[in-house]
C-alpha cells in the first residue's frame, strides 16, 4: 500500500523469524525493510529487473543506521514502511520503520546507491527515471 511517498508492507512473524524465546532475530528487521523498499519501487511501476534492463542500473544498499527500540514476537502482525526522504545524483535515502500497531519497534536510515549493471561502479539516476518513479524531492 502506498501513502504519498511511503509504502507500507504487512509482515506476519513466524517461528522461522524468531529465536528460541519467540523474539524476532535482529537481522530479520533488515529483511522486512528490504521488502518495503522493493514494494516502494514496485508501487511506482518498476521492479529491480526492469530498472536493470531499461536503465542499466542496480540499486544496492550502501549503509544502514538502525535502532532497535522494542522486540517483535511470534505471531505479531507488523507493518514495515519505506519512505524516500532524499535523492541526489546516485543516492537515495530512505526512512524506514517497523511498527506493531502504533508502537515503533525499529527505525533505520538506509542509503541506497545506483550502480552500473556492467561494472558495479556508482552512476547517477537520470532525471527521466526520477520522473518515472514519481520522485519530486
Q: Which residues are catalytic?
A: 19
Give the Cα separation of 110 and 64 in Å (integer): 5
Give bridge partners of residue 3 from the DSSP assignment: 6
CB 6 within 8 A of CB 82: yes
Give bridge partners of residue 104 from the DSSP assignment: 99
Q: How far apart are the first and last CA of the chain?
A: 20
Amino acid at each position: 500500500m502506498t501513502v504519498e511517498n511511503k509504502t507500507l508492507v504487512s509482515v506476519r512473524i513466524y517461528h522461522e523469524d524468531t529465536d528460541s524465546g519467540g523474539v524476532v532475530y535482529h537481522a530479520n528487521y533488515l529483511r522486512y525493510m528490504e521488502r518495503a523498499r522493493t514494494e516502494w519501487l514496485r508501487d511506482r511501476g518498476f521492479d529491480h529487473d526492469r530498472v536493470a534492463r531499461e536503465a542499466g542500473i542496480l540499486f544496492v544498499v550502501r549503509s544502514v543506521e538502525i535502532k532497535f527500540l522494542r522486540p517483535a514476537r511470534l505471531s505479531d502482525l507488523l507493518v514495515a514502511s519505506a519512505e524516500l526522504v532524499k535523492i541526489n545524483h546516485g543516492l537515495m535515502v530512505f526512512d524506514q520503520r517497523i511498527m506493531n500497531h502504533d508502537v515503533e519497534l525499529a527505525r533505520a536510515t538506509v542509503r541506497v546507491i545506483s550502480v552500473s549493471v556492467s561494472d558495479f561502479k556508482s552512476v547517477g539516476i537520470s532525471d527521466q527515471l526520477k520522473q518515472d518513479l514519481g520522485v519530486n524531492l
